[in-house]
Amino acid sequence: MVKKVLVVDDSQAEIRLLQSVLQQAGFHSVGISDPTKIEEAIEEERPNVILLDVVMPQRNGFQACRDLKSQELYAKIPVILVTSKTAPSDRYWGEQQGANGYVSKPFTPEELIDAVKRLV
């Protein structure tokens, strides 16, 4: 069974890059650029894992991760933060929000796929 990944990033270019890497590794992915629509996308797509950018307007990735992990309906879906915020304090803060993984930009395809495979 093909695993589904929800990609959330405000940059269409980043979404396409992530989807390309995922597709080459055999994953099906759905991309959205509006972080306020994550729950709606989860309901429609039923992803096995979520790749979540941190720096986004209206709702940053830390907020979105915290919101998802605080709701029983979504809490069990693994969240990987994929971000340019690379300071140890950012990684720590992501873990405090409930993130299951952290991939720093720029990343190699192998780093991304390894992170996803660990959680699906």
Higher model confidence: residue 34 or residue 86?
34
34-78: pLDDT as tens digits: 999 999 999 999 999 999 999 999 999 999 999 999 999 999 999
Delimit the domains of the chain by residue range: 4-119
Average pLDDT over residues 87-109: 95
Task: Specify the DSSP class assigned to residue 48.
Answer: S
CATH superfamily of this structure's domain 4-119? Response regulator (3.40.50.2300)
Whole-number pLDDT of residue 118: 97
**How far is the C-alpha of 56 from the C-alpha of 54, rounded, in Å?**
6
Average pLDDT taken over every residue of the chain: 96
pTM: 0.96
Other Cβ atoms less than 10 A from the Cβ of 40: the count is 11
Average pLDDT over residues 74-87: 95
